[in-house]
Homo-oligomer: A and B are copies of this chain.
């Protein structure tokens, strides 16, 4: 069975609708993957995720390696069994976490040294290690180790990080071939290159020339303006092998997702939709709202009139405001269910629009309505 099949291409844009088949199930693309950092998508049960239409989640090797440890997950029979998740899992290599969470780290040509955020102990990840560990815990889609760099680094810094990431990509494929994954696990390369176009082109072409199952665009959404994200994204996509699934790492805002689908991206992940849920924010079809606002005190409508999620079918803004103001756990639960459903629904509607040939008007309509009340 082919891992990725494009079933419809948009006429006016690079957008496409596809089907990805992992050992754990079928994933329709475009798809949003909620972040399940530590073997749980924060605040919700697996059943609440299934019910909201979630087919694939993301786990973080970095966090799982530190707690509970790879050994515990292996003994449990893999990450799926450990957390009782029956659908697909993509695991991130830890590259991004090593760079964003560890204050003390050292990148050398054969890997990264970092200190644990839990107890300060020292650890070393090689590109080989992270592939093996992801394979051992039963990940459906494995990410290579990459060097993610801060926004607007200079040419030489960016070039060196890009070269290292490409070298690690090659090493990763060797490990894959040595273990001989078969169809048990898929492996994605990552395009870096910062905000320097010829380096992005160099990385895009290099990764496209390698035998990966999919290609991720990394190093964006790191503090730049949205226009710059889309500019680099569009430029990069031109040089990618677009027969493979394309994955934008770390994008989760509704407008950004719809725009990036229009650029030809198939997969997304981001901690934002779940994180804002724990702070009282909700996506709605007319923009993001903060439910703690006084104006919702006597508002007995659902979070979003047009939403059909569990939360909107059962609870009012007034009630969720009360819960959120009272710091009740149920507030995080209900908002997470809603916000994830909102994004799942958005990518599903985008998919339907691509298939029925009106993605462009769907995109314009959504962005227009969403931005009207957005700050």
**Contact residues of A with B, CB < 8 Å?**
38-40, 42-46, 67-68, 72, 75-76, 82-84, 297-298, 300, 314-316, 318-319, 321-323, 325-326, 328-330, 332-334
Contact = CB atoms under 8 A, between A and B. Distances in A.
16 contacts: A39-B322, A40-B328, A42-B328, A42-B329, A42-B330, A43-B330, A67-B322, A68-B297, A72-B318, A72-B322, A76-B300, A76-B319, A82-B318, A82-B322, A84-B315, A84-B319
Contacts of A43: 329-330, 333
A319 to B, nearest CB: 6
A67 B326 contact: yes
Nearest to A311: B45
A332 B329 contact: yes
Q: Copy number of this protein in the oligomer?
A: 2
Nearest to A327: B38
Given A42-B329, A44-B330, A46-B314, 9 more contacts: A38-B328, A40-B330, A45-B330, A67-B322, A68-B321, A68-B325, A72-B298, A75-B318, A329-B329
Nearest to A316: B76
Nearest to A331: B40
Highest count of chain B CB atoms <10 Å: which of A44, A297, A326 = A326
A125 to B, nearest CB: 20
A82 B319 contact: yes
A46 B334 CA distance: 11
Nearest to A77: B300
A199 to B, nearest CB: 37
Contacts of A297: 68, 72
